Structure formats: structure tokens, C-alpha cells
Structure 1
Amino acid sequence: MAKAGRRRALMALVAVLAVAASVAVVVRVLAPAEVETVARDLYPAAPAPTAGVIGRLPVAPLVVDGRLRVYAGTRQVYADQPVTGGHRVTPFWSYRRWPATLVGVLAEGRTVVSRWSDGKLVALDARTGRVAWRVDGPAPGSVPKPRRTFASTVWDPAGLHVARTADGLDVLLATGPGAAGGYALADGRRLWRADLGRGCRVDVGSTASGELVGVDTCDGPAAVELRDAATGEVRTRWRPPGASGQLVVTPVGCRAGHSGCRGLRTAEPGGGNSRGWLVTDPGEPTAAPGLDAPESVLDGERVVDTAGGVVTGRSPRTGEELWRRADIHPARVLATEPGRVHLLTDRRELVTIDPLTGATRSDFVFTAGRDGIGWQPGRAYAVGGYVAVERVREHASPDDDDQGWFLMAEPVLLAAT
């Protein structure tokens, strides 16, 4: 009997230890975690590539400091190099969090900022992948699930912008349902936080004059709200003359993403009453009739338009035509960046022009290997002379899954211009 009792006691002890071990494993796996895998190699030099297609990638890249490509995953932000590599390779550095999901990535200089579903803002040093700072920001709310390239996460991060103030301070702006905040980009120091109307305000971007732009319907008809990036104080609340109760506002002439924008386009839902405005100085926007056309883009002090089968450059302030190119095959604007407007022709030629003069900077067929030109452009991005675009099947519908939407397993083309 005593022997049987000892056996039962031993078995009970083993069961308790097994349960404890299982609990420890579950806690280790499911507990909040952060994994920082820093760079082992030296920070690469910036190459000087010749114009042409560099390669194709399975996910959308952010080109950072002209040296790295940064990508997003469900719970990871990571980088590879060289920026001119033909394919994605082993990460140069990586940063993971659990169980939060990644909802946005933004790069400014050598700082890469990631935004997470729990509201955390984490800045990484692009040179090493080390965490530079982390702060609690406004919860981002519901963000649509990105397609497998994560282009919306890195090229159009929801509620995440940078603005430069008049005294040269770079401010990270984060907005979410019911709240907004401004943070010094250099060290994450919170500069301000504001409570906003929930469900009645949409942020648009930031201006070249250092303001956060939003459309507010909390206290009456829709109005454009311009908030000082350094203090969070509303500088200007404005409605376009003759605007209806509803208002759609689109940023144009942006330095990167929806940050540092020089203009806005206002319209009614559906695109009626489209009007262009400049926001290069504090105060109410200035009318820019050259920007009224919905297809026109702003780059510096030039509006570029592709309507009518020709490419024209106009003054944004007067609409006066300053140059004209009738020799470019029917094209659309694929992407813009300061000093470059990238046009994609119906022959899938990528023609990059100088917006000031209309002169061609580079011109080549935008394809890789034997991939052909049977595709339509999805999301696109340009920075520092690099251009990337998602290739979408010619007859794809937005309702298609990723298999039916993208042209192939590596749908993103990257080129230097």
C-alpha cells in the first residue's frame, strides 16, 4: 500500500511539473515580446546606379537614405541591401513585435518609424536596426488588411506623417480615432496631444509650412483644419468659397507620401467642383487654378498635366502654359518626387521629366527580363530617383484575391531614373 501511495504521489508530482512546464511555454510564446536583430555588417555606401530597371520584388520597398530597402510584414519591419539588388535578400536588420501587428512605416533621413496596432510608435536607426526610441501614440483604429506586397503599409501609412517647422524641427504626427499627437522625430519626445472628434474628422497629411491637415465635420459643414505641427494648436479653419456641405480633400505636391505637401485639391464627393490650392505659407490656402484639373500634379512651382494626349507644364498660380511635350506617347503620371515627374506610357515606357522645363531625364521600357508589358499599374512610389510600382493583371478587379490581382509572385518592379 505504501509503495502504491508513493507511486501515485510521484505521478501527481510529474503531472504538476508537466502542467507547469506547459504553462511556462505558453507564457513564453504568447506573452508580449520584442525581437531586435541588429545589423552585423557596416552601413553600405550609397550607389550611383545607371537609369533602368533594377529588379523585381515580392513586397514593396521603402528606399531609405539611398542605401537600404525597408519592408513590412504582419509583425515585422526589416531591411535589406544593396538598394540596387535584383531580388530581396537576407535581412540586413530586422525588428519584430508580438502580438501587435504592424500598421504603418515611415522613413525620414536615417530614421525608420513603425506604428503598431496597440498604438506604440517605435523608431529604428536605419544604420543598425537598433531601437532609437519608443513611445505610446494614439491608437490607430481599424486599418484595412494590406495585400501581400504591404504597399499600403509602407507607401501610404494611415495617420502617420512628418512635418518640418519654421525653425527646422522635424515632427512626427500620429492620428487615430479621437486623438492626435506630435513627437520630436529625433528623440520621440511628445510635444503635444489633442483630443479630436471621434467619427467626424479625417486627417489628410502635412503641409510644407509645418501643419497637420484634417477635414472636420464635428461642428457643422466640412471644414479644412490646419493645426500647428509643433504645438497642436489650430492655426486655421477654412472652407473653400462656395463649397457644399461635404468636402473631399486630396494632398498634392508632397515631398514624400502625404508629408510636406505644397498643395491641396478640394472637391465634392464624386469629383465635382474640383479646385486647387497652395499651402506653402501659414494661413488660409491660396487659390491655384492651374491645379484645378483632377489629373494634374504639383511638383515644386510647376503643375504637370497629361490631359488630351500631351504633357504640359503650367503655373499653379495662374494656369499659364509654360512648356508642352507632344512627343511622349499617351501617358499617365505614375509618381512624383521633388524635381522628377515619372510618366508611364501605354507602351509601358517609364519617362521621367524635369517639371521645371519638361526635359527628359531618363526613358526606358519598364519591364524585367521576359515579363512583358501586359500589366496595369497598382500602387506606386518614388524617392531619390528610385521608382517602384505594383504590377496588376490587366483585367483584375479590386474584389479579386491576391492571386487574381497581382501579375506574378514578384509583382513589384524597382527602377532607377
Structure 2
Amino acid sequence: MGWAGRRRIVAAATAVAVAATVGVIAYRVLAPAEVSTPAQEGYPQRSTPTVGVTGRLPVAPLIVDGRLRVYAAPRQVYADQPVDSRSRNTPYWSFRRWPASLDAVVASGTTVVSRWSDGQLVALDARTGRVAWRAEGPPPASERTTRRTGTAVVWQPSGLSLGTTADRRQVVLTSGAGEVRAVDLADGGTLWQAAVDSGCREPVGTGPGGRLLTVDECAGPAVVEFRDVATGVVTARWRPLGAGDELTATLIGCGPGGVGCAALRTAGPGDGSAQGWLLGPDEPVQLPELDGPGTELVDDTVVNMVDGVLVGRVVPDGGERWRVEIGPGRLIAVQPGRVHVLTEANELVTLDPATGARLSGFVLDIGADGTGWTPGQAYAADGYVVVERLRRPVDPDGDDQRYYLTAEALIVAAT
């Protein structure tokens, strides 16, 4: 064999080796993978923060068990601690998947449930970050779009919710492309699954008595459908008085994690069509005090703010329970035992929903950020309030740098 022949053989062998190496690298990079990094430290104690601003964060947290802050990234769910830390810390634990993207996160007690773009549910033990169980579910009907703070994934997790059956068993409900499925929160076992029409039958969330509410616009005028959380059986269908062909529904008065919402607000196209309804074991009962879009229900008290005056009314008779003058501002969030109002000067005022007594009040300011911002989304849990800060004037079509006040756009306070 001549020199030229040997050179061709060497070149061919080199090409095969290079191709094999590239293939191995490509497989390692592109193949489906998971990386779980469990906690290396003991489960933290609950924090006892001083009332006031505690810190600022670049992404929206879920406060879990009063001990951890859980965050969402495009392909990762992770936690840090303590809850009252001034800034985001090195992850306490982390769970990452590839190539699936994270679609929604909910939490109950010490269980954090994540839903991914391929429909898979992965439950993590918040105390360790280890996988507690996995379950299959329908993939999301559409790709979720969210800004960099991730509020749509952790604060408004459409397609993923928690419910409680009549016998107090906790259930995870997931909906997507043509299906609704329920799994047991304790072990991920499938309880039931039901085929639904995509795009015209959208679950809203769970009410009292173990019922899943769904708006059905598939055939004829829109109706609200009630489905048993434990079995998946449709138990009732209902239309609000005077409702037209189109209908939106918003649950209010929900417990921690959005469970067991006590009331419903329905609305059709146009202004002035909102109606409030108290939920129970039978058909919803109209409660006009809930009609206003800024009205909330907490601890059997309807709360709304008109012309700078916050009013609490008794449920269900609507009688006035208390009245407090605060000044211009807006009701931004409620949680058990607390009503949170943000004034025009960005002072956070917290009141007792039973009596209207002022529990705390302070300006939401930290560092050199100032108070010249507009509030965006807000979240409240375990005595904390988290508020997005938007740059003035608010440009909803602007990029994230223009839209948010700073890189750490979320301000956190203990009330």
C-alpha cells in the first residue's frame, strides 16, 4: 500500500473518531436529563422577622411552610432560606429537567409540585429537595409566556391546582391538551382522568365541598360545571342570572395554595357585568357585596375600598362590620388574619379582617430604590407580602428592563 492509501485510511479513521466524539457530546448535551441537588443542611426553623421590609428579590417566590422561598426558572425549580433574607441566597435544594420547561408550581405543607411542558408532574419534599413521586399528566394546552420574575408560574399557575375532597384528602388537579387528571398529593397515584374539549372547557379551580369548577363554552351559552374532586364525576351545571354567551369566572376567598375558594365572581363582555356568588354545597348564592373587581373575601369578611375608605362586611348578610379611612390606594392582597392595602405613597397598611384594627404600617422602601414606582402583581402568605415594582409610566409592551423598576424588582415585607 502506498503513502497516499495509508493517508486515506488514517483520514477516514480520524473522521470516524471525530464523528463518534461529536455524537457522544451531542447525546450528553441534548439527551433528556435530570439533575437533582438535595439539601445539604438540616431543615431550617421558622423565621421570626421584625415587622417591616425584609428584602428584595429578582424572581417571584412561593413561601413554603413558613421556612423556604421556592422559585421557578425556565428549566428549574429551586429553594433558598431563610424566608426573611435580604436577598436571594445559594439554593438550599434544586431540581432541573432538560429539555422540558417548567410550566407551573404549587405547594401544600412540605410538598412542592411542579408541572413541566411534557405534562409530567414531579413532587419534591420541601424539607430535602428529593423527589417524592412522579406522575404523568396532560401537557399544557399552550406554551406559557412569562416575564423574568416568573409570577405566572408560581402565583398564577393555570392548569395546575390543589383541591380537597369531602373526606379531606388533598388532590393535585392538572389540565391540558384535551384532558383533566387528578392525582393524590400523598403519593401521586391517579384518582381519575377525564377527556375534555380543548380550548372551550377550562378548569378555574376548586371550591368548598371538594368540587372543581370549570367554565364550559363548548356548545351553546357558557355554563359553570361542577366536578367532584374525588371521582371526576360532573355533579352540576349552572348559569349565572342574566349571563350571556361568553363568561369569565374568578375564584376568590381561597385558602392557602388556592384551595377551597369560598366565592366566585363571574363576568361577561363589557363593564358592569361582574356578579359575586357565595359557594356552598348547592347552587351558588348571589352576594352583591362581591361584585366589585377589587373586592376580596377573607375570614368570612367581604373587604373593599372606595374613595380611600376600606369597609369590612359580614358574610353572608352583608352588614357593615367596620370602616377605616386610609386615603387613596388599593387593596392588593389578603391572607388569613390579614388585609393588605398599598397607599399612593406606597405605604403598606395591614389590618385585621375581623375588626379593622391596624396591625402594621410602613413604607415599602429599601436601599436607594425609593418609592417612585407602580405596584404590579402581589402575593401574600405566612404573614409576608411580596409586591412587583414597575417603572413609571408603566409600559406593558416594554421589555423587562423598561418594565421593571430594578433588576431586583420584587420587594418583600413582614407584616
Task: State the shift of 1:75 in Å.
Answer: 0.4
Q: Which residue in 2 is equivalent to 1:336? A: 334
Q: Which residue in 1 is equivalent to 2:393? A: 395
Task: State the shift of 1:321 in Å.
Answer: 1.1
Q: Which residue in 2 is equivalent to 1:116? A: 116
Q: Which residue in 2 is equivalent to 1:53? A: 53
Pair 1:140-2:168 in alignment: no
Distance 1:111 1:413 in 2: 25
What is the correspondence of 1:13-412 to structure 2 with a 5 Å cutoff? 13-256=13-256, 258-279=258-279, 281-326=280-325, 328-412=326-410
Distance 1:209 1:51 in 2: 36
Q: In structure 2, list runs of 5 or more residues that go unmatched.
A: none
Letter in 2 for 1:398: P
Letter in 1 for 2:414: A
Distance 2:10 2:256 in 1: 66
Equivalenced residues, count: 415
**Which stretch has the larger CA shift, 121-130 or 288-297?**
288-297
**Which stretch has the larger CA shift, 135-144 or 191-200?**
135-144
What SS class does the counterpart of residue 381 from structure 1 fall into? strand
* Identity score, percent: 55
Task: State the shift of 1:207 in Å.
Answer: 1.1
Letter in 1 for 2:248: V
What SS class does the counterpart of residue 205 from structure 2 fall into? strand
Distance 1:244 1:27 in 2: 54
Task: State the shift of 1:157 in Å.
Answer: 0.8
- Do the aligned partners of 2:339 and 2:353 also contact (CA within 8 Å) in 1? yes
Distance 1:25 1:240 in 2: 59
Q: In structure 1, list runs of 5 or more residues that go unmatched.
A: none
- Do the aligned partners of 1:332 and 1:343 also contact (CA within 8 Å) in 2? yes
- Which ranges of 4 or more aligned residues in structure 1 deviate by more than 4 Å? none
Q: Which residue in 2 is equivalent to 1:415? A: 413
Task: State the shift of 1:20 in Å.
Answer: 0.7
Cα deviations across residues 345-403 of structure 1 (Å, max 9, x unaligned)? Answer: 11111111111111111111111122111011111101110110110012022111101
Task: State the shift of 1:268 in Å.
Answer: 1.5
Letter in 1 for 2:177: P
Q: TM-score, normalised by structure 1?
A: 0.97
Task: State the shift of 1:114 in Å.
Answer: 0.7
What SS class does the counterpart of residue 221 from structure 1 fall into? coil
Task: State the shift of 1:15 in Å.
Answer: 1.5
**Which stretch has the larger CA shift, 159-168 or 2-11?**
2-11
Q: TM-score, normalised by structure 2?
A: 0.97
Letter in 1 for 2:59: V
What SS class does the counterpart of residue 376 from structure 1 fall into? strand
Distance 1:246 1:150 in 2: 29
Q: Name the Cα RMSD after superposition.
A: 1.3
Task: State the shift of 1:245 in Å.
Answer: 1.8
Letter in 2 for 1:181: R
Task: State the shift of 1:289 in Å.
Answer: 2.2
Letter in 2 for 1:246: E
Task: State the shift of 1:3 in Å.
Answer: 4.8
